[in-house]
Amino acid sequence: MNGIAKQLSPSAQPYLTTNADALRLYAAGVESESDADLEQAVAADPNFGPAWAALIDRDAGRGDRDAAKQAIARAGRYHLDGYDQAAIDVVNASLNNDRHARVDALHRLSDLSPGDTALLQTVAEAQMEVGEFADAATSWNKLAAVLPNDANAWNLLGYSRAYTGDYPGALAAIKEYQRLNPASANPLDSTGDVHFLFKKFKEAAASYLAANTKNPEFLNHGDLYKAAWAKYYAGDKSGAEDLFSQFRFTRDKAHDPTTPLFVADWLYRTGRGADASAMLRSQASKLPPQTQPFAYSQLAIWDLLAGDRPAAAKDAALAGPPKSIPAFLAAFCVLPSASEKEWQARADRMLSGSGAANIRLLALGYALILDDKASLAIPVWEQIVDRSPGTDFFPRDILAKLQNQRVAQPIVPNPGDLNEFAALLDRL
């Protein structure tokens, strides 16, 4: 095998082990369901990285965290090749829930396997996930160079550039995405998002409307909603109202049960809070059972923003037992005013277990702000931001406002999912 490798490439390196038993046992272990062969392989040659990586990956894959951690510690005593050490570091970072360490390990892994485009895509996605947008742009650019017809790579290159503040570069990437995907409305929608992120609201509205014209069913007429907000922020209030009315008509025609929620949110966030509350309160009991809790939860949050905690508690009670995250967050936030220590105790008591850690933080973060303890909420929101996806800008904007910092980019409207706390960000 080494001789053949040298014929293919004079610079080919010797294989990672010269121990025939280690290689045979490794091959058998990869093919079998038993770890015994892999254990014997690492015993035959403790510096043979592929066997350690396969053993650790198998332990982690079946959920045996302790066995995986023990194997990682054992492997750490030996000098393994860079590729397999990076692969082990990826698993170790995942076991430790260390997202940034995982990205670093994936990046090293990709650098050692430059021909693996699937791995490069994984690296770019992971960099986006942790908010390392400049690095993600570099990775997407590499992928687009290797796979110039990969439309998705160009689209995500555009977004990653936009998140770094590169407006011309983002538009150039999206333009290439549109060239590769001319029949789709998505490139026009992406162009609108880039304009919106840079507060080019007039241009954003035009792009969203072009996307809606090309395919009205795209995002379930959601580009009308996005265009309405773009018009609103551009100062064209009448144009915004007209577009939102069109959006409302299309959703009503499709019998979308969430339409009243979107209408109420629009009214509230465009300065008509009393109308929004009255409208939603009059319709809440008539909504389908699966939608009613969201309506009452939204009313409860607005009550808290108005400083009426008793009314908030009543509305939250009308939502019924919290069976969704939004309903639970509202039910938690309407609890009686308390000290920071008591809010923490409530969160720990009502949401115990490591699996509920993220929701526990979110509930505590919102509750402290809505109980006039914004400064005490800052450490909580720092943890929320650290755990949230890099492209989830809402918690980042909340934290920026709590710290009296400038919000870098506006949040692109989402026609598929309402955030019941959207008005909280507007108020901070």
Where do the domains of the chain lie, and which CATH numbers do they carry? 1-96 (1.25.40), 300-428 (no CATH)
- Token pair, residue 302, equals 């607005």
Q: CA triplet 330, 332, 333: central angle to 5 degrees?
A: 65
Residue with the two structure tokens 């332990």:
59
Instruction: State percent of the chain over pLDDT 90.
Output: 92
- Can you give the pLDDT of all 428 residues of the chain as single tens digits? 888 988 999 888 888 999 999 999 999 999 987 789 999 999 999 999 999 999 999 999 999 999 999 999 999 999 999 999 999 999 999 999 999 999 999 999 999 999 999 999 999 999 999 999 999 999 999 999 999 999 999 999 999 999 999 999 999 999 999 999 999 999 999 999 999 999 999 999 999 999 999 999 999 999 999 999 999 999 999 999 999 999 999 999 999 999 999 999 999 999 999 999 999 999 999 999 999 999 999 999 999 999 999 999 999 999 988 888 999 999 999 999 999 999 999 999 998 877 788 999 999 999 999 999 999 999 999 999 999 999 999 999 999 999 999 988 899 999 999 999 999 999 99
- Judge whether 83 and 113 are in contact, CB under 8 Å: yes
d(CA 373, CA 340): 8
Q: How far apart are CA 60 and CA 400, in angstroms?
A: 37
Contact (CB, 8 A) for 260 and 248:
no
- Cα distances (Å, whole numbers) of residue 26 to 240, 329, 357, 427: 65, 50, 39, 61
Q: pLDDT (tens digit, 9 = 90+) per residue, 65-81?
A: 999 999 999 999 999 99
Q: Do 226 and 247 meet the contact criterion of CB atoms below 8 Å apart?
A: no
Which residues have a Cβ under 8 Å from the Cβ of 149 and sit 6 or more positions away?
Answer: 180
Helix (H) or strand (E) holding 79: none
Give the other-Cβ count within 10 Å of 246's Cβ: 17
Which amino acid is present at 212? Answer: N
Gyration radius of the chain's alpha carbons: 26
- pLDDT tens digits, one per residue of 224-256: 999 999 999 999 999 999 999 999 999 999 999
